[in-house]
């Protein structure tokens, strides 16, 4: 018995439906390869962007950790500055001579220890009297004309402090301004 041929078994595949030509198949394969290469390239680009984003995230987190360690004492230092201010006021306004000298000497020693402890954790005073006025670290609450070349801190009313490079509190100061030359008439 003879086996039916493909075109005889499937009427849709008549003699006009010949097998695909090799050139068309080759073009389809090349198109598939191009598509796969593009998809691979896109995947590589996404991977590189993701890797760069992760590296930036890691660096940012490392810097945040360093900063949190470096500035961990900021709140404690801010809380202690008013105590130090009050100790200084007490020492400045204590009467001189007599039995109070021991008390004033004790206050002075406590103030020195406070300053030393603050310095160990990175707290330093803002430049004060005689320093050029810097609005980034000084808060002017008054001024007067004086024989100076540029704005200069003349009086420190409340000292300012930094923790490393971060300002904890600006110094409250009076500023000496250069005198204006009299207009000749």
Segment (H or E) for 91? helix 74-93
Residue 2: the pLDDT is 57
In angstroms, the CA 29 to CA 84 distance is 81
Phi/psi at 111 (5° precision): -60, -45
Q: Which domain holds residue 163?
A: 74-178
Residue 183: the pLDDT is 42
In angstroms, the CA 29 to CA 38 distance is 14
Residue 23: the pLDDT is 75
CB 172 within 8 Å of CB 157: yes
Residue 83: the pLDDT is 94
Tell me whether residue 147 is in a domain. yes
Q: Which two tokens stand for residue 183?
A: 């207009």
Same domain, 64 and 88: no
Q: What is the pTM of this model?
A: 0.65
Same domain, 89 and 125: yes
**Residue 73 contacts by C-beta under 8 Å, 6 or more apart in sequence?**
121, 122, 123, 163
pLDDT tens by residue, the chain, 185 residues: 555 555 555 555 555 545 557 777 888 898 899 999 999 999 999 999 999 999 999 999 999 999 888 888 899 999 999 999 999 998 888 777 666 688 888 899 999 999 999 999 999 999 999 999 999 999 999 988 888 889 999 999 999 999 999 999 999 999 999 887 554 44
In angstroms, the CA 104 to CA 124 distance is 24
Pairing of strands 171-178, 138-146: parallel
Pairing of strands 161-163, 123-125: antiparallel
Same domain, 128 and 78: yes
Closest CA to 150 of 121, 123, 113, 179: 179
Question: CB burial class (10 A; 0-12, 13-18, 19+) of residue 27?
Answer: exposed
Residue 41: the pLDDT is 95
Same domain, 98 and 148: yes
Residue 109: the pLDDT is 94
Residue at which a domain ends, from 70, 88, 108: 70
Residue 98: the pLDDT is 63
| Total number of domains in the chain | 2
Same domain, 103 and 165: yes
């Amino acid at each position: 018995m003879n086996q039916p041929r493909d075109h005889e078994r499937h009427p849709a595949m008549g003699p006009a439906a010949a097998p695909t030509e090799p050139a068309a198949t080759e073009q389809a394969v090349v198109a598939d390869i191009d598509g796969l290469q593009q998809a691979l390239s896109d995947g590589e680009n996404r991977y590189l962007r993701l890797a760069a984003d992760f590296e930036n995230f890691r660096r940012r987190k490392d810097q945040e950790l360093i900063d949190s360690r470096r500035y961990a004492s900021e709140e404690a230092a801010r809380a202690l500055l008013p105590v130090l201010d009050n100790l200084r006021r007490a020492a400045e306004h204590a009467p001189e001579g007599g039995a109070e000298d021991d008390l004033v000497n004790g206050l002075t020693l406590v103030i020195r220890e406070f300053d030393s402890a603050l310095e160990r954790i990175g707290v330093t005073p803002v430049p004060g009297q005689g320093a050029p006025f810097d609005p980034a670290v000084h808060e002017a609450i008054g001024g007067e004309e004086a024989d100076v070349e540029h704005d200069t801190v003349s009086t420190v009313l409340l000292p300012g402090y930094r923790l490393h490079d971060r300002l904890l509190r600006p110094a409250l100061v009076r500023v000496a301004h250069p005198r204006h030359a009299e207009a000749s008439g």
